[in-house]
Chain A
Amino acid sequence: MSDTSLAKPVTGPDASTWILLTPALGLVILFIVIPALLAIAGSFFTIGIGSTNWQFAGLANYTRALNDPIFWLALRNNLIMVVGSIVLQVGFGTVLAAILDRGLPRGSTLFRTIIFAPMVMSTIAVALIWLVIMDPNVGALNTLVKALGMQPPTQGWLGDPDIALWVILVIAMWQYTGFMMVLILAGLQGIPRELYEAAALDGARGLKAFRHITLPGIRNVLIVAVLITTIGGFKVFDLIFATTRGGPANATQVLGTYIYQQAFNLGNMGYANAISVVLLLIAVLLGWLQLQVSRRS
């Protein structure tokens, strides 16, 4: 048998193309694309716990969401997580990255390793560590706060609806600021040193150089950082599930925990699908934006 395939111009996908492509494509279609389509389809039905009995409900699940104050509360809490995380994680991440990039003669690698480390811990473990730290009897936090002459909250750090979400924002900041720092640091290291040297000759140093060289140089990375944080703020689930389960009195309820509660605790699969579609649309839109910005740089 003579092999003539080399002489032929490749016009379309041949067998070997599909052999290499099928496993990845199959898994993605089976476990991502089909469930996403089913979530959209399911949002127009009433589905009980048994989940075999689908009854067409039209837009009822969506009108229910529009009239459900807890849905709006959850969405509001997601927005607070998003804005708070951008301010804290991207904000402090930028400052830390700038310091590690040019501010320290030595020790940058050690500091980077330490500050980034919480990112690789499981959020469940992080949540549990902080739960014990904030425990009213054995926790380090109350002892510390009292030692400083202040009064810890009487209902506990996560038991007070007025502060619970802010406490969760601080835990998220503890875990993810290092991630933002590393991301932004990679952007900073891409800025040519000569730019700073030239600017220094013109008398621009410190904050002035930061504003005119550093910020424009990491513009795209900052946009990506903000988008990743935004997506993270909408997707937040583990941290809240392991600390408050959305309580007290829905004060920390977010879309992720509310979907879980409606679907797996209350058995309202159809309604939970409608909330899922809202989350899906937000995530896909933001993910698409992220890739557009990434591609441009």
Chain B
Amino acid sequence: MKTAERQFTTISAVPIEPVYGPEDLPGFDPARELGGPGEFPYTRGIHRDMYRGKLWTMRQFSGFATPEETNRRYHYLLAQGQTGLSVAFDLPTLMGYDADHALAEGEVGKCGAAISSLEDMEILFRGIPLGEVTVSMTINSPAAVLWAMYLAVAEQQGVEWSRLSGTLQNDILKEYIAQKEYIFPPRPSMRLVTDTIEFGARHTPRFNPISISGYHIREAGSTAVQELAFTLRDGIEYVDWALERGLTVDEFAPRLSFFFNAHSDFFEEIAKYRAARKIWASVMRDRYGTTSERSMKLRFHAQTAGCSLTWQQPYNNVVRTGLQALAAVLGGAQSLHTNSLDEAYALPGEHAVTIALRTQQVLAFESGVTGTPDPLGGSYFLEKLTLETEAAAKDYIARIDGMGGMIAAIEDGFPQTEIAAASYRYQREVEAGERVVVGVNRFQSEDPPIELLQIDESSAGHQREKLAALRRRRDNDRVRKALDALKHAAEGTENTMPYLVEAVRAYATLGEICDALRAVFGTYQETAHI
């Protein structure tokens, strides 16, 4: 007799049966549920030959202090064999404030590179050929402004916009849901995102104007299913807005990209990536009627879970990250960031980031997992988990449809409340010892301190001086005119991108541009729920 048998669950509290077999997959039709690699519904991956044809891009998210220092780190990473760049901006930049703003006090260069003007962007990419290196930029509320700066730097380098390849994160919905770095209210924010998607469709055919992100939703404490469902529903919202703008689905859908977390529960994560591709392919085909394979294929970047890193025994983080990265690769990621062992403390030091990059190189060149696509496909457990993940995510998507879409759901606090409840449940389980975190609630020991990256307090002063000099040197009349024209465009329905490009060319600062938009759009405050 079975009494009080221990429950096994995934980290997201999904029950796991003692054993899985063919009886768990009644009527399972591999042709319908999986297809081959590179075939609808792309459960097994978007390419027939996957990593045999091309490895994932090893793209370490990086940025700290001044653009000068970050530029040096980029040159170092490229020299170490990294294959793409990913820019981290500091909090004032993310919030649309210049380095000399009162609210930037104590924050300049702390969480990323401080970029207040085109001059800073020029320094950030000095000596980096933008026609050859793909660049991802983690920027959301003011994404259109930073992208305009990027386009202006490319122009200075003599690189045609049509040759630029990279990704703008630009996913404002997950900011309201999870990361909370928003400036404007949802609707004007969505208009700016749609402006970039439209502009990209016309001028930068190789650039992803958006990276629809579950990463931050997961970091905020969601389950794997919530991460998947809210992200895909966000994607649907962006598609609806772009169609409303008058674009046809195949003009922009092939350039929508996604970004997922690579968390610690190995099989749950792989199931999540497989379900993501499968659901998105059906959404694009059935909800939007596309017949273009490029529009149906979900391409994604993955980053290992920052929230899983521990302050205690930090070297264990190398192992956690390695396993998470393996899940992302077995799940068919197109690009990957591996966290550094010191990131529970600070932005990564050079030694730590090198180990993180080497982790990917070991996976790519030593582990053998790149030899064949979706090597775990057909596992009873993984297939069952993929089906369950798909069903649970579709259920959430239907609920949000029923609420009138993601903006209405956000305004009701629905995804926020779901995530907070999941995060609290998890913390309670850790507290009760039901979830083991090695080195934290089990197997504790003292660890010698590790060497950390220090952000020089002089960065803020350096940035402020550069800004003061820029404001004296530039043609302030041209700046004023450009900002007035931008405001006028923002008040109407024109695409704001050309006006943003002109404003940054005139060296209007990020803060000045965002102030102009704040004056037109207003700002957003959420109602805080606990």
Q: Is B one of A's binding partners?
A: no
- By a beta-carbon cutoff of 8 Å, the part of chain B in contact with chain A is none
